[in-house]
Amino acid sequence: MRIVADRARCEGLGMCEAMAPDFFEVGDDGTVTILDETPGEEHRAAVLAAVDACPVLALSLDG
Amino acid sequence: MDLVVVGASLAGLRAVESARRAGHTGPITLIGAEPHLPYDRPPLSKAFLCAGGPAQVRPFRGEAELRDELGVRLLLGTPAQTLDTVACEVSVGDQAVPYDALIIATGASPRPFPGTSGIAGVHQLRTSDDAVAIRSALDGGARTVVVGAGFIGSEVASAARARGHEVTVVEAASLPLSRSIGVDAGTVCADLHRANGTDLRLGVGVAAIESSDGRVTGVRLDDGTVLAADLVVVGTGVAPATGWLRGSGVPLHERDGGVLCDETLWTGVPGVYAAGDVAHVPNPLFDGDLMRLEHWTSAAEQGAAAARHALDPASARGLAPVPYFWSDWYGHRIQFVGTPDCDEVQVVDTDTFTALYRRGDRIVGALTVDRPREVMKFRKRIAERGDWSEALAFAGVSAREGAA
C-alpha cells in the first residue's frame, strides 16, 4: 500500500492529519507532508479514513 | 434488501459508496432534486467564482461509473415528495420507491428574501446553477451587494473584490458571525472585509430589494440608504429541506424542522437514518449537545456511517466527531474546529489570529486564521478532551515559534 498525494489539489485542509497523524502533517506552507508513504497493512483503516476525509480528494491509495 | 438514499449530494453519495464497500449487494436507489450528478459544493463559493476558475462544475463520479460500477439506480431531477413509513415507500413524481433501509440526506435550502422570486440578478448560493448565474454576473462586472455577512456571503464578496468590483456587504447584526464564532473572531472577520475594500454595513437591515422591469436595481436599507446593484446575493442562512417528511412520523426539530437522530444517526423509525446538513445529532464529545452541522466533513462522515448502520443496525456505533469548517476570504484561510458554545473565548495570537474556546476545564474549540499547521493540533486536543491550561501553553509556544 502506497499513499499518493496530488500536490496540485492539496489545499492543506488537514483532515488527513486529523484521521491519521502518524502518516500526514500539514506544514506552515499549507500543504501536506506524508510522513510515511508506505504504511504497513495494519494501518489500512486509518489511512483509508484519511483518504476518504480529504475535502479536495487529493489523496489515493496505490495497492 | 433495498437501500434508498434521498439526497444526491456529498452525504448521499458517501452513503452509496459506503454501502457497497460494506458488501451490500442489493439494489440502491439515489434520489436527487437537482438534475445534476452529485458534485462538490465548497468550490461553488470559492474557486468557481474566480476569474479564470474552472469553467464547469464537475461531478464526483460519472453517470456510467455510478450506474455500472456502483450499481446505483439514479432518479435525478425530481425531489422526493412524501415518505410513507408504514408502507416503507418514498414517492418521487408518480413513482413509489420501496425501501428496506432509507437514508435521509436532503440537506438544507437557503432562506429566500421575501418578494424577490423571479427578479433577475437576485441569487442565493447553494447549487451549481446558482453558482453559474453568480459567476456570469461577476464576469459582467456587476456592482454587487451581499445580504448577510456569513461564510457564503463573505466568500462571494471576496471573489467579487478579487475581480476589482465594488462590493457592499449588509449585515443586520452588529458584527459578522459573532453568534457562531464569538465577538473577537467576528471583529477579525469585519476587519478582513474592510482591509480588502469591501464596504461593510453592520447593524442595518434590508428593507427591500428594488427592481425595474424584472431586473434588480438596488437594495434599500432600513435607514433609507439605497445601494445600487446589478447583482444581489442573499446569504442569510438555510433551513433543512424536510417539507417532504411532514406527517411521516420521522421526528423533526421544533425550531428548524431538521431531522432528529440519535448518535448512530437513527431517527427512531425502523430502517430510517439521516445524514448531513439535514440531521440534528447529539454529540457525546460535547456533553451530548444536539448539533446540526453544515460542514463538508460531517456530511461525508455521517453519510458513510448512516448507510453502514442502516444496513446492519446491530453494528451501529455512535459518532463523536470534532466539527470542522474552513472558509477562504481575500486570500486568507479561516479554520474552525470544535464548538463555539463555550464558557470563555481567549485570543492567544493577534498576529495572524488564533482564538481558543473553553468549556469547564477543557478546550472545546479553536479558530485560526492562516495557521494551517496548528489547527489540527488543536483539533487533536479537542478530540482527546484536552486540558485548557495545557492547550493555552501549547498555543503560547506555537505562536512564538510561528513568529520566530
- Would the pLDDT of B166 be above 90? yes
Structure confidence at residue B401 (pLDDT): 63
Query: B150 and B78: one domain?
Result: no
Structure confidence at residue A53 (pLDDT): 94
Of residues B19, B12, B317, B327, the one with CA closest to residue B150:
B327
B40, B301, B372 member nearest A14 (Cβ):
B372
Residue B14 amino acid letter: R
Residue boundaries of the structural domains of chain A: 2-62
In this prediction, does ipTM exceed 0.85? yes
A12, A53, A55 member nearest B372 (Cβ):
A12
B42, B304, B379 member nearest A55 (Cβ):
B42
Q: Which domain holds residue B184?
A: 112-234
- How confident is residue B350, by pLDDT bands cut at 50, 70 and 90? confident
Query: B296 and B395: one domain?
Result: no
Kindly compute the dihedral angle of the four CA atoms of residues A38, A39, A42, A45, in this order, to the nearest 10 degrees: -100
B304, B372, B402 member nearest A26 (Cβ):
B372
Inter-chain contact B335–A27, Cβ cutoff 8 Å?
no
Look at residue B323 and tell me if it is in a domain: no
Average pLDDT of span B138-147:
96
**B332: nearest CA partner in chain A:** A30
Average pLDDT of span B49-55:
85
Q: Which three cell numbers stand for residue B365?
A: 474549540
Which of B217, B234, B251 terminates a domain? The answer is B234
Of B4 and B56, which is predicted with more confidence?
B4
Q: pLDDT digits over B238-268, tens only?
A: 999 999 999 999 999 999 999 999 999 999 9
- Residue pair B194/B157 in contact (Cβ under 8 Å)? The answer is no
Question: Chain A: nearest CA to B403, how far in angstroms?
Answer: 11
Structure confidence at residue B60 (pLDDT): 96
Query: B118 and B229: one domain?
Result: yes
Spatial separation of the C-alpha atoms in residues B383 and B57, rounded to whole Å? 34
- Would the pLDDT of B31 be above 80? yes
Q: pLDDT digits over B180-230, tens only?
A: 899 999 999 999 999 999 999 999 999 999 999 999 999 999 999 999 999
CA distances from B54 to B58, B303, B398 (A): 9, 27, 36
**A25: nearest CA partner in chain B:** B373
Look at residue B394 and tell me if it is in a domain: yes
Structure confidence at residue B109 (pLDDT): 96
- Would the pLDDT of A9 be above 50? yes
The DSSP line for chain A is: -EEEE-TTT-----HHHHH-TTTEEE-TTS-EEES-SS--GGGHHHHHHHHHH-TT--EEEE-
Collect all residues of chain B within an 8 Å Cβ-Cβ radius of residue A25: 373
Question: Chain B: nearest CA to A39, how far in angstroms?
Answer: 21
Query: B130 and B143: one domain?
Result: yes
Place of cell 448531513: B276
Q: Which three cell numbers stand for residue B381?
A: 486536543
Q: Which residues of A touch B (CB under 8 A)?
A: 12-15, 17-18, 21, 25-30, 52-53, 55, 57
B381 CB neighbour count, 10 Å cutoff: 24
Geometric angle at alpha carbon B81, from B78 and B83, rounded to 5°: 130
Query: B227 and B243: one domain?
Result: no
Look at residue B266 and tell me if it is in a domain: yes
- CATH number, position B271: 3.50.50.60
Average pLDDT of span B351-359:
95
Average pLDDT of span B103-128:
95
User: Architecture of domain A2-62 in CATH?
Assistant: 2-Layer Sandwich (3.30)
> How many structural domains does chain B have?
3
Q: pLDDT digits over B303-344, tens only?
A: 999 999 999 999 999 999 999 999 999 999 999 999 999 999
Highest mean pLDDT among B100-109, B113-122, B346-355: B100-109
Inter-chain contact B324–A53, Cβ cutoff 8 Å?
no
- Would the pLDDT of B49 be above 70? yes
Question: Chain B: nearest CA to A38, how far in angstroms?
Answer: 22
Query: B304 and B230: one domain?
Result: no
Which of B195, B218, B234 terminates a domain? The answer is B234
Structure confidence at residue B404 (pLDDT): 47
Mean pLDDT of chain B: 95
